[in-house]
């Protein structure tokens, strides 16, 4: 087996089960090492730290599969990891037919995403190390889950960084154009090929339920960055009077109407527009909303983009506070690792000062449990948000 020696500074974090080794943390690497090769990782004093895969041209050069041993990485290894991940999620089958089975590092399979949609799988391979085991992984998935079909959606930007082409299409069985997802008795039509991410924002399942529990009779809801209508439709089923959905994506808004019909929701409006432009005009109209959901895409993919992201969040909160009724709630989320809960609170505090209104945080929210938070991997807690209401002066 090929050997990689890390610098002293990396040893502690690996001992705390952090699975990434950056380029500048590597002391010694075999010269002719190939992209995706399996390596054993050693400390400068020769202590075995684990086994993982390498990509010498990637900033995250080694990703660890297994700590402190030389576990064989083969089909049996993937069967065992997938089985564990699948069985951990069994309780979710009580409330939904769609959930994440494998969440990359957070399921100790770095670079691999597998989602379950009513018996079909959506698969995403994001690294060269995982790409090398594509056949073993597909066979393991068939053996453990026996899916009706597998759709590969390896379209992530991260593949470019790994020097891989994008791959998309059916790779096993058959997969229909539309799949019907039910979560918490709410129905959604999902397209694995046209939908964002692997088809649907599964990570917001629990938060859709939490936010919709705040609906009162007669409430008007504004679902910003609505995608296919997740939050708004939950609110409609809890008795909201009217829902306005806003999203920029043609593919996403196309499905909102069908999703409303599926759930017998009639009083709504769909707006295909940039939320920032929409808000500028909407505040001029003087309409008020009782629940405003702000669930933007990741504004800060890198640390450099953080400042711009915070400006974006501040704008969204300022405008939302203007549109909020006195008894209403704003639910705001950040799915960017670089904008954390404290950042979100600090821009909210600035907006509170500018709008001259105190803010009460009534609820904290995180990604649902099928997207695990591993304490040893801080960035695995990527989705965070809260619900606020106006305080009194
Ligand atoms: C995190 S997703 C929202 C998920 C959604 N809340 C759900 O529960 O399914 C972000 C959405 O923002 C949309 N989007 C991105 N930039 C936008 C913009 N400037 N204006 C409007 N929508 C935008 C994307 O199309 C995507 O649907």
SS3 of 140-164: HHHHHHCCCEEEEEECCCHHHHCCC
Q: What is the residue with the minimal CA distance to atom 12 of ligand 1?
A: 225
User: With DSSP H G I counted as helix, E B as strand and the rest as coil, what are the percentages for the chain, rounded to 5?
Assistant: 35, 30, 35
Q: At what angle do helices 250-262 and 230-237 cross, to 10 degrees?
A: 20
Q: Distance from the CA of 378 to the center of ligand 1, in angstroms?
A: 25
Counting from 1 in the atom list of ligand 1, the atom nearest the Cα of 225 is: 12
Q: Distance from the CA of 164 to the center of ligand 1, in angstroms?
A: 27
Beta bridge partners of 100: 115
Q: What is the residue with the minimal CA distance to atom 4 of ligand 1?
A: 227
The one-digit pLDDT tens for each residue of the chain (393 residues) are 899 999 999 999 999 999 999 999 999 999 899 999 999 999 999 999 999 999 999 999 999 999 999 999 999 999 999 999 999 999 999 999 999 999 999 999 999 999 999 999 999 999 999 999 999 999 999 999 999 999 999 987 778 888 899 999 999 999 999 999 999 999 999 999 999 888 899 999 999 999 999 999 999 999 999 999 999 999 999 999 999 999 999 999 999 999 999 999 999 999 999 999 999 999 999 999 999 999 999 988 888 889 999 999 999 999 999 999 999 999 999 999 899 999 999 999 999 999 999 999 999 999 999 999 999 999 999 999 999 999 988
State if residue 204 touches ligand 1 by the CB under 6 angstroms criterion. yes
State if residue 368 touches ligand 1 by the CB under 6 angstroms criterion. no
Q: Are 247 and 253 in contact (CB under 8 A)?
A: yes
State if residue 280 touches ligand 1 by the CB under 6 angstroms criterion. no
Q: Are 368 and 204 in contact (CB under 8 A)?
A: yes
Helix count and strand count (H, E) for the chain: 11, 20
State if residue 225 touches ligand 1 by the CB under 6 angstroms criterion. yes
Backbone region of residue 163 per phi and psi (left: phi > 0; alpha: psi in -120 to 50; beta: other values): left
List the one residue out of 194, 141, 200 whose CA is nearest residue 171.
141
Q: Distance from the CA of 275 to the center of ligand 1, in angstroms?
A: 9
State if residue 186 touches ligand 1 by the CB under 6 angstroms criterion. no
Residue 73: predicted pLDDT? 97
Give exposure, 358-387, as e/b (b: 16+ Cβ within 10 Å): ebeeebebbbbbbbbbbeebeebbbbbbbb
List the one residue out of 128, 156, 165, 125 whose CA is nearest residue 141.
125
Q: Are 14 and 44 in contact (CB under 8 A)?
A: no
Q: Is the pTM of this model over 0.85?
A: yes
Residue 264, C-beta contacts closer than 8 angstroms, at least 6 positions apart: none
Residue 284: predicted pLDDT? 96
Q: Are 240 and 216 in contact (CB under 8 A)?
A: no
Q: Which helix (H) or strand (E) holds 66?
A: strand 60-67
State if residue 271 touches ligand 1 by the CB under 6 angstroms criterion. no
State if residue 249 touches ligand 1 by the CB under 6 angstroms criterion. yes
Q: What is the residue with the minimal CA distance to atom 7 of ligand 1?
A: 230
Q: Distance from the CA of 297 to the center of ligand 1, in angstroms?
A: 6
Q: Distance from the CA of 87 to the center of ligand 1, in angstroms?
A: 31
Q: Distance from the CA of 270 to the center of ligand 1, in angstroms?
A: 13
Beta bridge partners of 53: 38, 63
Q: Distance from the CA of 258 to the center of ligand 1, in angstroms?
A: 18
State if residue 207 touches ligand 1 by the CB under 6 angstroms criterion. no
Q: What is the residue with the minimal CA distance to atom 15 of ligand 1?
A: 297
Q: Which domains does the chain have, with CATH numbers?
A: 2-67 (2.30.130.10), 75-173 (3.30.750.80), 201-390 (3.40.50.150)
Q: Distance from the CA of 256 to the center of ligand 1, in angstroms?
A: 13
Q: Are 86 and 68 in contact (CB under 8 A)?
A: no
Q: What is the separation of C-alpha 97 from the centre of its chain, rounded to a whole number of angstroms?
A: 18
Q: How far is CA 76 from CA 19, 55, 81, 114, 266, in A?
A: 21, 23, 9, 17, 51
Residue 157: predicted pLDDT? 74
DSSP 207-235: HHHHHHTT--TT-EEEEET-TTTHHHHHH
Q: Distance from the CA of 163 to the center of ligand 1, in angstroms?
A: 28
Residue 203: predicted pLDDT? 98
Q: What is the residue with the minimal CA distance to atom 13 of ligand 1?
A: 225
State if residue 247 touches ligand 1 by the CB under 6 angstroms criterion. yes
Residue 97, C-beta contacts closer than 8 angstroms, at least 6 positions apart: 116, 117, 118, 119, 181, 182, 183
In a 13 Å sphere around the CA of 263, the CA atoms on its Cβ side amount to 31
Q: Are 221 and 243 in contact (CB under 8 A)?
A: yes
Q: Distance from the CA of 287 to the center of ligand 1, in angstroms?
A: 22
Q: What is the four-CA torsion angle of 35, 41, 43, 48, rounded to 10 degrees?
A: -170
């Amino acid at each position: 087996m090929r050997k990689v020696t890390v610098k002293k500074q990396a040893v502690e974090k690996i001992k705390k089960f952090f699975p990434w080794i950056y380029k500048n943390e590597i002391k010694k690497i075999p010269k002719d090492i190939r992209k995706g090769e399996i390596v054993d990782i050693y400390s400068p004093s020769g202590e075995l730290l684990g086994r993982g895969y390498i990509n010498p041209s990637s900033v995250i050069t080694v990703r660890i599969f297994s700590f402190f041993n030389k576990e064989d990485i083969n089909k049996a290894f993937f069967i065992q990891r997938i089985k564990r991940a699948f069985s951990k999620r069994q309780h979710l089958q009580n409330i939904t037919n769609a959930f994440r089975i494998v969440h990359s590092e957070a399921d100790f399979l770095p670079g691999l995403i597998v989602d379950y949609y009513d018996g079909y799988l959506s698969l995403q391979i994001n690294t060269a190390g995982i790409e090398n085991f594509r056949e073993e992984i597909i066979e393991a998935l068939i053996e453990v889950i026996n899916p009706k079909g597998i759709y590969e959606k390896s379209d992530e930007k991260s593949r470019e960084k790994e020097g891989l082409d994008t791959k998309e299409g059916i790779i096993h069985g058959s997969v229909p154009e539309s799949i019907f997802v039910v979560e918490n008795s709410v129905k959604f039509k999902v397209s694995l090929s046209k939908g964002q991410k692997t088809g649907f924002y599964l990570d917001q399942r629990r938060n859709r339920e939490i936010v919709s529990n705040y609906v009162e009779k007669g409430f008007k809801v504004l679902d910003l960055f609505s995608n296919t209508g997740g939050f708004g439709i939950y609110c409609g089923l809890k008795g909201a009077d009217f829902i306005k959905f806003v999203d920029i994506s043609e593919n996403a808004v196309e499905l909102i109407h069908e999703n409303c019909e599926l759930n017998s929701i009639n009083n709504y409006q769909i707006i295909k527009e940039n939320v920032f432009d929409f808000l500028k005009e909407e505040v001029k109209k003087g309409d008020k909303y009782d629940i405003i959901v702000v669930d933007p895409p990741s504004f800060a993919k890198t640390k450099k983009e953080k400042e711009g992201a915070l400006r974006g969040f501040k704008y969204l909160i300022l405008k939302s506070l203007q549109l909020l009724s006195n008894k209403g709630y704003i639910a705001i989320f950040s799915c960017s690792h670089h904008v954390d809960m404290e950042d979100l609170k600090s821009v909210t505090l600035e907006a509170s000062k500018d709008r001259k209104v105190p803010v009460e945080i009534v609820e904290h929210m995180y990604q649902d449990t099928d997207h695990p938070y591993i304490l040893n991997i801080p960035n695995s807690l990527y989705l965070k948000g809260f619900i606020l209401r106006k305080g009194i002066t």
